[in-house]
């Protein structure tokens, strides 16, 4: 996990540069949790293990809330790690959460935009009718690509990892 943790430190610094470069188009801030309230959350086995490491370090009172959330998890629903519009395991969140809000090119050369673009949030000024009017981040930020140098294991939706 140390190697993965060190990788995330470097990756987060790169993401900070992207955030800075596109700051005029990104409106994510603390308390904005729309991306965590509805969606699928694909993550790899290594990300799940790291996420659960973060979970293990939480106070028991928070774990109790999360255990209740786990019992009520629905596919395509609220992330069970979300409490009062904040991520309870923010430092340990998976790649999909780290890159959400950014527009980037996928492996097919198509622009991936955050879904909140259609809610008048990130990049809404430069995206219309499936057209993106500025250059997106040229790095593929999909989980599979970002973790290509790791034995990241299977990728599943968070729901599928947590519901047995």
pLDDT tens for 12-53 read 999 999 999 999 999 988 888 988 998 889 999 999 999 999
Categorize the per-residue pLDDT at 62 as very low, low, confident or very high, splitting at 50, 70 and 90.
very high
The DSSP H or E segment spanning 6 is helix 2-21
pLDDT of residue 17: 97
The mean per-residue pLDDT over the stretch 141-154 comes to: 94
The backbone torsions φ and ψ at residue 158, rounded to the nearest 5 degrees and listed phi first, read -50, -40
pLDDT of residue 40: 84
pLDDT of residue 133: 96
* Domain extent for 23: 2-162
Categorize the per-residue pLDDT at 1 as very low, low, confident or very high, splitting at 50, 70 and 90.
low
The model scores a pTM over 0.85: yes
Give the count of beta carbons closer than 10 Å to the beta carbon of residue 160.
15
Cα–Cα distance between 103 and 113 in angstroms, integer? 5
Residues 6+ apart with CB under 8 A from 63: 55
Of 77-81, 86-90, 118-122, which gets the smallest average pLDDT? 118-122
Q: Give the number of domains in the chain.
A: 1
pLDDT of residue 28: 86
Cβ–Cβ < 8 Å for 116, 34: yes
pLDDT of residue 147: 95
In this structure, the chain runs to a length of 164
Categorize the per-residue pLDDT at 164 as very low, low, confident or very high, splitting at 50, 70 and 90.
low
């Amino acid at each position: 996990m140390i190697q993965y943790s060190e990788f995330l430190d470097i990756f987060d610094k790169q993401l900070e540069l992207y955030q800075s470069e596109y700051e005029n188009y990104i409106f994510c801030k603390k308390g904005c949790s729309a991306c965590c309230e509805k969606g699928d959350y694909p993550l790899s086995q290594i990300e799940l293990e790291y996420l659960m490491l973060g979970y293990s370090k939480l106070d028991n009172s928070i774990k109790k809330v999360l255990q209740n959330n786990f019992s009520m998890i629905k596919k395509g629903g609220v992330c069970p790690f979300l409490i009062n519009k904040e991520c309870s395991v923010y430092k340990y969140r998976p790649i999909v959460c780290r890159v959400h809000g950014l527009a980037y090119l996928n492996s097919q050369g198509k622009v991936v935009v955050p879904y909140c673009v259609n809610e008048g949030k990130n990049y809404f000024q430069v995206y219309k009718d499936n057209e993106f009017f500025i250059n997106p981040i040229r790095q593929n930020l999909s989980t599979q690509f970002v973790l290509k140098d790791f034995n990241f294991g299977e990728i599943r939706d968070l729901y599928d990892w947590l519901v047995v």
